[in-house]
Amino acid sequence: MLVTKSKVALLDPINAARPSTFMQLAIRLEEEHEKLKAKCSILCELSIRTASSSGRYGTLQMLKNLRQHAEAMLLDLEHHSKWEDEELFPVFSRYFRKSTEPTILPSLWVLEKDHELALQFFESFLQVSRTLIAVMQIDKDCSDLRLKEKLKEGCNQLTQGCFILSGHFQMEEELIFPLANQILTDIDYLFS
């Protein structure tokens, strides 16, 4: 396994000629991404386990738990996206708009579409799980085979959303961190 320096280590304020607010934004981005990726990984594992669960009561409890985790993840994503849209991306847009090179706006648009697609998968899971929970609590005669198929369908939606989100975070980092290092290098040169 190849060991590389953390992106945060590259953005270490101690190693910069002039620590900046922008550097703090870049550090926060990586820290939040690491937390979100860890939560996404846990959610994906829970989804896979829930899809393969058996027994009506155990499955119902797992599905309720999975649903709570998915809703919490959506709240975390909402807060993170709001911060990116209001504080982080405007800095990049303003900085690189002054450049003669192509802007990053099309890349940010593509990232936003990935994010929206992941959210659609999450919402699909929430709809299916809401229905399943209601049916499992009310209709004791409902076919277990039909429930199992719907459960797998819903969990697959959530798992797919998690995979898309993980890829989204990776692509965002591949776009943002080189740009962040360029800005930080420019700041260091300017004040050195």
Q: Number of folded domains in the chain? A: 1
Per-residue pLDDT, 51: 94
Range of the domain at 172: 115-183
| Size of the chain, expressed as the number of residues it contains | 192
What's the mean pLDDT when you consider all of the chain? 81
Q: Hey, which of 27-41, 53-67, 88-102, 136-150 has the most confident mean pLDDT?
A: 27-41
pLDDT at 91 over 70: yes
CB of 73 within 8 A of CB of 40? yes
What distance in Å separates the CA atoms of residue 84 and residue 91, rounded to the nearest whole number? 10
Query: By the 8 A CB rule, do 62 and 49 touch?
Result: yes
Q: Answer yes or no: is 49 within a domain.
A: no
Distance between CA atoms of 123 and 130, rounded to whole angstroms?
10
pLDDT digits 0-9 by tens, 99-130: 545 455 556 677 788 889 999 999 999 999 99
Say what the pLDDT of residue 188 is: 66
Angle at 127 between CA 137 and CA 75, to 5 degrees: 110
Specify if 121 maps to a domain: yes
